[in-house]
Chain A
Amino acid sequence: MASKIVTFTLNGKETEVMVKPFMTLAKALRERLGFTATKCGCYEGNCGTCTVLVNGEPMLSCILPAEDVEGQDVLTLEGVTPSEGLHPLQQAFHENYAVQCGFCTPGMIMISKALLDKNPHPSREEVAEALSGNLCRCTGYDPIIAAVQAAAQQSAGSQGGQNG
């Protein structure tokens, strides 16, 4: 079985990883590269917790072959988190009680970041629609939607956009 080296940009850094044929990006991230913020929930594209951004677009890393991101730009939650403190979305999730068990949070933050990057001031409906592929079994979603809108308001003040 011929393993292959996949070269891609991970959180802004040129990265090489050795993968077996058809290994998923989530597995390569977690088990080969030690980037464990990305979680695997359902392994079938229903729950969204494995969401990463590929060239800024949300994709599901547990059903995405790692070889398909050759030469692409991948952002995970590790790349969103600043070296000090929290990203505005993370801060807003914390302040709005949007995290209970926390298992969906990595995917929720990634898809929310993709949304705010494209639409800095989404309506409640736009947030709900963007997050519709990400399941949370704890919060009832309201605190998560509130957190995304709070983060949007905050970045409106600071014109923030650092940290990926």
Chain B
Amino acid sequence: MTTQAYFRPQSLSEALNLLDKHGPALLVMAGGTLAVPLVNKGVSSPEKVLGLRQAGLNYVRQANGAVHIGAAATLTQVCQESGVPLLAQAAKNVGGWAVQNMGTAGGNLFAPPPAGDLAVAFLALDAKIKLASKARGERIVPLAEFYTGFMATVLEPDELVVEIQVPKPAGNAVLLKHGRLYTNTPAIVTVAAHVIPSDGKVGDVRIALNAVGPHPVRARGAEAAVKGKALNSETIAAAASTAAAECEPFTDPIATEWYRRKMAGVFVQRALEQAAA
């Protein structure tokens, strides 16, 4: 089936009306770097497509100690305008230059692992996402509660991701990506660690992983292994081995499950060492 209609709403309300009217039959896209290849390859043959490029969601704003990133802000915008080095680094790690000019912050949340690294930085900073539907209005969901499985989220069929709200780092934030190439490389594992010190110990900590599970995920066991303790070689090693044990890596042309698990531990260790420094 060829596409019968390509809707290009000029505002969020127009986009939500179109989604309400045409329902889940719509293929929703923003930058197109995930959706258009599926159509080109015949994997997806949508009758109707909703393009969010012009829907007024391509902003990056600072508000109340947080960065509010419109779902259709490009990775290049996140890199240049977020003012948060961790986010800039994560955006820079996605694809090549042209992909960064097209791909969006909201769209990257839906990139299946080993892609989708932006979410690792978002998780480490405890980001929340704003969802909106015509029928029920807006709701805010912590990103840590957004994913429910491989390519599955809490997003309802009539909802769109509107905005990502990212608190600025309160402590040391580190992002490490292990790939096979220096740049523009799929992840073997990506780790982001955010350590908020308190009285010489770890007051709060968030460790996020990608490419070692069905979706970007918090390493809760590894976090528990260092929370409330001093960061030293012993506690860091405990967190690293816990992360390696609790992650759910997979084998693909990039790396084997065994190697990904091994590297998850190694890179959690390195990230915590750097965050402690």
Residue ranges of A at the interface with B (Cβ–Cβ < 8 Å) = 1-2, 20-22, 24, 43-45, 48, 51, 57-60, 62-65, 67-68, 111, 114, 128-130, 132-134
Residue of A nearest to B36 (CB): A63
Q: Is the beta-carbon distance between B102 and A20 smaller than 8 angstroms?
A: no
A124 to chain B, nearest CB (A): 12
Q: A1-B2, A21-B5 are in contact. Are A68 and B53 (CB under 8 A)?
A: yes
User: Quick check: which of B62-70, B92-100, B152-160, B256-264 contacts chain A, the rest being far away?
Assistant: B92-100
Number of contact residues on B: which range applies?
20 to 34
Q: A59-B102, A65-B51 are in contact. Are A134 and B96 (CB under 8 A)?
A: yes
Q: Is the beta-carbon distance between B6 and A43 smaller than 8 angstroms?
A: no
Question: Which residues of the partner chain A approach B53 to less than 8 Å between Cβ atoms?
Answer: 68
* Separation of A49 and B5 alpha carbons in the complex (Å): 27
Residue of B nearest to A54 (CB): B101
A68 to chain B, nearest CB (A): 6
Residue of A nearest to B95 (CB): A133
* Separation of A97 and B51 alpha carbons in the complex (Å): 41
B183 at interface (Cβ–Cβ under 8 A)?
Answer: yes
Q: Is the beta-carbon distance between A57 and B101 smaller than 8 angstroms?
A: yes
Residue of B nearest to A63 (CB): B36
Q: A1-B4, A21-B3, A132-B184 are in contact. Are A59 and B98 (CB under 8 A)?
A: yes
B32 at interface (Cβ–Cβ under 8 A)?
Answer: yes
Residue ranges of B at the interface with A (Cβ–Cβ < 8 Å) = 2-6, 8, 32-33, 36-37, 39-41, 49, 51, 53-54, 76, 95-99, 101-102, 181-184
* Separation of A48 and B4 alpha carbons in the complex (Å): 28
Question: Which residues of the partner chain A approach B96 to less than 8 Å between Cβ atoms?
Answer: 48, 132-134
Residue of B nearest to A110 (CB): B98
Question: Which residues of the partner chain B approach A60 to less than 8 Å between Cβ atoms?
Answer: 33, 98-99, 102
Q: Is the beta-carbon distance between B102 and A44 smaller than 8 angstroms?
A: no
- CB within 8 A of A133: which of B5, B32, B184? B184
Chain B CB within 10 A, most for which of A24, A45, A58, A129: A45
Q: Is the beta-carbon distance between B33 and A111 smaller than 8 angstroms?
A: no
Q: A60-B98, A65-B36 are in contact. Are A22 and B183 (CB under 8 A)?
A: no
Q: A20-B2, A22-B6, A128-B183 are in contact. Are A45 and B37 (CB under 8 A)?
A: yes
* 9 A-B residue pairs with CB within 8 Å: A21-B4, A43-B40, A45-B98, A63-B32, A65-B36, A128-B182, A132-B97, A132-B183, A133-B184
Q: A22-B39, A57-B101 are in contact. Are A68 and B4 (CB under 8 A)?
A: no
* Separation of A24 and B36 alpha carbons in the complex (Å): 9
Q: A59-B101, A133-B97 are in contact. Are A44 and B37 (CB under 8 A)?
A: yes
Chain A CB within 10 A, most for which of B8, B39, B40, B51: B40
Q: Is the beta-carbon distance between B183 and A45 smaller than 8 angstroms?
A: no
* Separation of A57 and B74 alpha carbons in the complex (Å): 12
Q: Is the beta-carbon distance between A111 and B40 smaller than 8 angstroms?
A: no
